[in-house]
Structure 1
Amino acid sequence: MSDIPRRAISRTARLASLPLGFAGRTALGFGKRITGMASEVISAQVQERTAEQLFSVLGQLKGGAMKLGQALSVFEAALPENLAGPYRAALTKLQEAAPPLPAASVHKVLASELGPRWRQRFSDFDDKPTAAASIGQVHRAVWKDGRDVAVKVQYPGAGDALVSDLKQLGRFAALFSAIQPGLDVKPLVAELRERVVEELDYTLEAKAQRAFAKAYAEDDEIYVPSVVAGSMRVLVTEWTEGTPMAHVIADGDEDARDLAGRRMATLHFSAPKRCKLLHADPHPGNFRMLDDGRLGVLDFGAVARLPYGLPKTIGRLTRLALDGEADAVLEGLREEGFVPADLEIDAQAVLDYLLPLLEPIAKPEFRFSRAWLRAEATRIANPRSEAYQLGKKLNLPPSYLMIHRVTLGSIGVLCQLEAKAAYREVVETWLPGFAE
């Protein structure tokens, strides 16, 4: 039996252990007094045990399980503190760590992609990876011209493993609901599956990274490393030195976290206008804070292509909502498909649903926090709340799905940072339709 099938079987066994363990914990928790946001699902004790096992297993996996874990990790800030604490460290490790591919396997991929004399293209190559992601790992090296570079090498069989894992994870929706009631992972898994083919092609990632690098060349807020060389399964870019965002979240002082938050918001809103792309993987492992205060942006395997930038309607309706124009907001949401055409609904109720979400840009400055995100998650996801009942009646048009997910992911990171900044100013500068 080859290494790849053996690893696949081991991975499948670990995934299969998740729903079995969940079933046992559900039985243990049955009948106990249930409180808080999780009251509709399971006791806090069972919730904590489930979370510990879930992230322990995800942390051991490559492929789709790790990718889903990374996507979910940015929402850690929404969990109650008594649950978030025990596995926050595990989430941080998940964002930037995974079991390494053996050196011999790395060399085989490099020879296949860069040619049998691949070593001649480098003056030095470190066989020990510096980071690992869902479908590949990164090695530090020195290019033949003396530049420090990052070499991303795709895992052999990554595509098959990714598809297999995502198929299985789609069946475990109840497990994720146990740690965050109201969270439906099925649409996220479906979206990840749709992006599999694109993310496996590093030539597409290189093209996206070149577009970002050109748009932010000489920028004083955002830094994107240049692409040096690449192929289908190997990508070589200039090395980015800096403090990992996860370290800023864990150990950064208030000024450092505030600056990181401002830079994250600027990237999110400016990229669609400057390069017609949206960086669609906003977990902390993809960002560094450089010594000069710029945000270093890594990993462009997941991008949303927005040839016309962010829809102008988003900015216009956001401004109308902040101005209290309930009827105009409802009309605009209905035109865009957020509100079904035949749904009778109170305009003021819709505005009341939206305004708390717009609090970060309702005033000149705002500090994101875990407490704020938990409160909003409780308001929207608790089946007993009016907001939950109203939200069930609304639609999310397919054309807005990626933008919506990335925005939520970015907000999750800002809440992990607990960053204060002039977010309204960022929106006024970059969001079409808002200031007009």
Structure 2
Amino acid sequence: MSDLPRKAVTRTVKLAALPLGIAGRATWGLGKRIGGKSAEIVAREIQQRTADQLFRTLGELKGGAMKLGQALSVFESALPEDFAGPYRAALTKLQEAAPPLPAQTVHQVLAERLGPEWRESFREFEDEPAAAASIGQVHRAVWHDGREVAVKVQYPGAGEALLSDLRQLGRFAGLLGPLVPGMDLKPLIHEMQERVAEELDYALEAEAQRTHAEAFEDDPDVVVPRVVHQGEQVLVTEWLEGTPLSEVISGGTREERDRAGQLLARFLFTGPARTGLLHADPHPGNFRLIEGEEGRLRLGVLDFGTVDRLPGGWPEPIGTSLRMTLEDDAEGIYGHLCGEGFVRESIELDPQAVLEYLKPIVEPVEAEEFTFTRSWLRGQAARIADPRSPAHQLGRQINLPPSYLLIHRVTLSTIGVLCQLGATVRLRGELESWLPGFLPGE
């Protein structure tokens, strides 16, 4: 019924072509250099061809392939600048759009899930999707009561494709290393595998979105569209007009970029306290910058398919760890990390070395405001990724408890987006207001 490539063998061949293509282009590049082309020109051509293949493969396959591409898109800021250009353009495409499914396929899904008279639910329905993502695509429509809505339709076979892709990508993770130098893809892919069932369950997504919409109703800074209708493989929500964050990143004014960054940080830290949930898919395609009353810019938030459940809000140990690091309390932070399971009992580390490892990471919180830049993130990535550096050696010995895995990824992803924005953000103020344990005496 679907044009989504569903046979495991077909998808495996396409995914396997990514690392093989890298190797093949390297050989092709060697031949070009022997033929007289400069190494710089050849390298640029190889990167462009690899980027084109990356978008085409991950976008066409959708499923877990595109999901990985979207997750990687927020980390392009960490790539060396001479490497990042082609990949930045290719990965950014995955934040907002991918090759769509044919209208006929979409109509069949709607007929199955809403009934053969599904068109009666809408006054208008646009066949051309407004966005096409990893497991579904969104169509703009007008609900029967006149409300403008977004109709999210899950791809037929999405579950099968998602699981198949993530299994194959897990096997290829080592070979895909050249796509994001210095980043270990295996933990990221494993965590995605753990959350497949939630990602596919639109009932859970609708519940999370309703919770957020209620908590942020009439909020001056954050807008969450209400759920209009939820069914299996179909989710209808209010339409949210605004400028996609990817467009703010590529062409926004300084005011827009700073405002978007501040609101993104605010939503990251206020969400768990107000809803008991952490929005866990912070790539730019899921956010809009909306002009409200008197020109006040607000942040629109979409897609609640992946959330982390934090009933008590942000875990207090995170705030305590940050505070102790800022206070240069080497013994205190080391004892705290040992007690929380970040350092295994079988390992003994130098407390001062642990503090020196953490200090650069918390730099954005030391000042009243901090400007997130790609160069700052590249420096952090290089420090931790270089096998010769003390930071790399120490980082390999620090353990991340399972309950912190998703929090860690969401925080890193949000920082990646802030660096793409180049935003100046008053992060310390947000932490003082919303992060338990950050202020002394808490």
Structure 1's 44 and 312: CA in aligned 2 closer, same or farther, altered over 3 A? farther
Tell me the equivalent position of 1:124: 124
Structure 1 stretch displaced more, 185-194 or 223-232:
185-194
Read off the aligned partner of 1:353 and give its amino acid letter: Y
In structure 2, which of residues 279, 288, 308 is the aligned counterpart of residue 304 of structure 1?
Answer: 308
Per-residue deviation at 1:12? 3.3
Tell me the equivalent position of 2:263: 263
Per-residue deviation at 1:59? 3.0
Counterparts of 1:48 and 1:358, CA distance in 2: 35
Mapped pair 1:212 → 2:216: no
Q: Any gaps of 5 or more consecutive residues in structure 2?
A: 31-42
Mapped pair 1:240 → 2:240: yes
Contact in 1 for aligned 2:4/2:61 (Cα 8 Å):
no
Counterparts of 2:363 and 2:222, CA distance in 1: 25
Q: Any gaps of 5 or more consecutive residues in structure 1?
A: 31-42
Tell me the equivalent position of 2:189: 189
Q: CA RMSD in A?
A: 2.0
Contact in 2 for aligned 1:362/1:424 (Cα 8 Å):
yes
Tell me the equivalent position of 2:147: 147
Deviations 1:379-421 (A, max 9, x none): 0011111100111111111110000000000000000000002
Tell me the equivalent position of 1:425: 429
Deviations 1:60-111 (A, max 9, x none): 3211100000011100000111111123221121111112111121111112
Mapped pair 1:400 → 2:411: no
Per-residue deviation at 1:168? 1.0
2:137 match: secondary structure: strand
Tell me the equivalent position of 2:351: 347
In structure 2, which of residues 307, 321, 344 is the aligned counterpart of residue 317 of structure 1?
Answer: 321
Tell me the equivalent position of 1:114: 114
Contact in 2 for aligned 1:50/1:175 (Cα 8 Å):
no
Tell me the equivalent position of 1:166: 166
Counterparts of 2:342 and 2:410, CA distance in 1: 18
Counterparts of 2:51 and 2:5, CA distance in 1: 28
Contact in 2 for aligned 1:213/1:223 (Cα 8 Å):
yes
In structure 1, which of residues 370, 377, 386 is the aligned counterpart of residue 374 of structure 2?
Answer: 370
Tell me the equivalent position of 1:34: none
Tell me the equivalent position of 2:94: 94
Structure 1 stretch displaced more, 18-27 or 54-63:
18-27
Tell me the equivalent position of 2:40: none
Contact in 1 for aligned 2:4/2:155 (Cα 8 Å):
no
Deviations 1:34-65 (A, max 9, x none): xxxxxxxxx99877764554344223321110
1:256 match: secondary structure: helix
Tell me the equivalent position of 2:20: 20
Read off the aligned partner of 1:332 and give its amino acid letter: H
- How many residues align? The count is 424
Contact in 1 for aligned 2:63/2:161 (Cα 8 Å):
yes
Name the TM-score, length of structure 1 as normaliser: 0.93
Contact in 2 for aligned 1:61/1:98 (Cα 8 Å):
no
Read off the aligned partner of 2:435 and give its amino acid letter: L
Tell me the equivalent position of 1:83: 83
Tell me the equivalent position of 2:419: 415
Contact in 1 for aligned 2:3/2:101 (Cα 8 Å):
no
